[in-house]
Structure 1
Amino acid sequence: MAAHIQEQEELENFKYFWKSWGRWLFAALVAAAIGYLGYVLYQSHQVKKDQEAAGVLTQLVEKAQSNADAKAVNADLQNLQQNYSGTIAAAQATFMVAGTEFDKGSYDTAANHLNWVLKNQPDPVVQAMAAQRLAVVRLQQNKYEEALAALNTKVAPAFEPLLLETKGDVYLAQGKNKEALQVYEQVLAQLPKDAANRESVQFKADQLK
């Protein structure tokens, strides 16, 4: 009997709880379910976008390797930049075309491509690469202030030596040997002992002592 009474009390308590809070609890559960579903769909959509972008990149590379019309290559690049701007494939394609333009001596065009990467690709590795390459382009043009401005891009600490070494190269090109030496020494202080470029940076520093 006592058990039956307890069950009745629990049932009444549940009814009261549901009447008071049930619809809000239900709404919260629905919202959570919708949020989870949205996350799953977003991930699925992102994977699909990445796959599509990779396909366009493959086409672009094949056209470039076969010396296809530059217009065809640029059409694929525009497709990637406009429809898949957040993908790594878009960054890879833009880097590749920027490199081609640099080799041709079309420095401003190369710089425009690299600026696109900086504006559209938040990945820290991509940001560091784009900033460093943009600085190299401006250095090639003897546009030293623009090169230094590119190297002021905020990057993760792990990528600072990459930008600092190029900054030293800019100072060296300007004839600012003291500043170049200071920067190279900063690079050496930050680089791991087994870094691949440590020897070359050390050589640059030694030549200025």
Structure 2
Amino acid sequence: MANETRKLSKEELQEDEFVEGAVRLVEYVQENAQNFIAGLVGIVFIIMGINYFIQTQEQSQSEAAALLGDMLIAEQAGQKEEAIRTGEQLQTSYAGTIASAQATVLLGNLQFNSGKYVEAERHFQNYLANYEPVDVLTLAASNGLAACLEAQGQVEQAAQRYEEIAARHKGLAAAGQAMLRAAWCYAQIGDRNKQRALLQSVIDEYARFPIAVRARAQIEML
């Protein structure tokens, strides 16, 4: 019959629901276009910000490395004041970079070699307190601090510092060298027993390194 209502199939119902849903989505987007655009712009700015940060970091590292190169060239040429000036500029402008960490330890060495032990100590402490530890730089800064104490007449404190270095880096040749230096410090204050014990430890624990030969030669002279 013409006026008889036909029952919609399951597939047709699903199609109608899909069409209605699509229409509602279009209407919603049209009504909230400004919000969608604002959100998209926000995402774009976030992405741009991240990219800028990465590029800036890479650029900073490159510029810092170039300054470190200038510092090393000046140091090798015997221009200590210029090397120190460049190193301090690197510290100020590029703090936290790998090059700045290296420059900080190098500044400590330069000041130490110039007899400015307080300044040298400040740089070594700066590295140990503010930079991610790198074995070679950490050893250099730690030994630098001990050497500053030694140079300022605080020999027993220096010996203790060298022993701490040896304990932290046990097994490395640098640890044996720190023990040799500690033994020398104890000799300066007349503690022969401590000196002998440290030298014997170097002989026993670092026999495969040349420092054991030096320790044996020193212990034979006691």
Q: TM-score, normalised by structure 2?
A: 0.61
1:148-163 map, 5 Å = 148-151=159-162, 152-153=164-165, 155-157=168-170, 158=172, 159-163=174-178
Q: Does 1:104 align with 2:114?
A: yes
Equivalence for 1:28: none
For 1:44 and 1:188, the matched residues in 2 are separated by 52
Equivalence for 1:30: none
- Compared CA separation, residues 45 and 183, structure 1 to 2 (3 A): farther
Equivalence for 2:147: 136
Paired AA for residue 94 in structure 1: T
Match of 1:123 among 134, 143, 146: 134
Aligned residues: 169
Q: TM-score, normalised by structure 1?
A: 0.65
Structure 1 residue 57, shift from structure 2 partner: 0.7
Structure 1 residue 162, shift from structure 2 partner: 3.1
For 1:91 and 1:181, the matched residues in 2 are separated by 37
Q: Does 1:164 align with 2:174?
A: no
**Secondary structure of the structure 1 residue equivalent to 2:168:** coil
Task: Say if 1:124 and 1:155, in contact at 8 Å, map to a contact too.
Answer: no
Q: CA deviation digits over 1:57-99, x for unaligned, max 9?
A: 11112333445572x4333222333444444433433333333
Equivalence for 2:68: 57
For 1:105 and 1:150, the matched residues in 2 are separated by 20
For 2:159 and 2:214, the matched residues in 1 are separated by 21
**Secondary structure of the structure 1 residue equivalent to 2:214:** helix
For 2:187 and 2:54, the matched residues in 1 are separated by 47
- Compared CA separation, residues 126 and 62, structure 1 to 2 (3 A): closer
**Secondary structure of the structure 2 residue equivalent to 1:98:** helix
- Compared CA separation, residues 69 and 167, structure 1 to 2 (3 A): closer
Q: Does 1:147 align with 2:158?
A: yes
Q: Does 1:114 align with 2:127?
A: no
Equivalence for 1:199: 213
- Compared CA separation, residues 87 and 106, structure 1 to 2 (3 A): same
Structure 1 residue 127, shift from structure 2 partner: 1.5
- Compared CA separation, residues 198 and 45, structure 1 to 2 (3 A): farther
Task: Say if 2:67 and 2:86, in contact at 8 Å, map to a contact too.
Answer: yes
Q: Does 1:186 align with 2:197?
A: no
- Compared CA separation, residues 57 and 139, structure 1 to 2 (3 A): same
**Secondary structure of the structure 2 residue equivalent to 1:116:** helix
Task: Say if 2:159 and 2:183, in contact at 8 Å, map to a contact too.
Answer: no
- Compared CA separation, residues 185 and 93, structure 1 to 2 (3 A): same
1:3-82 map, 5 Å = 48-68=59-79, 70=81, 72-82=82-92
For 2:149 and 2:203, the matched residues in 1 are separated by 24
Gapped runs of 5+ residues in structure 2? 1-49
- Compared CA separation, residues 125 and 96, structure 1 to 2 (3 A): closer
Paired AA for residue 184 in structure 1: L
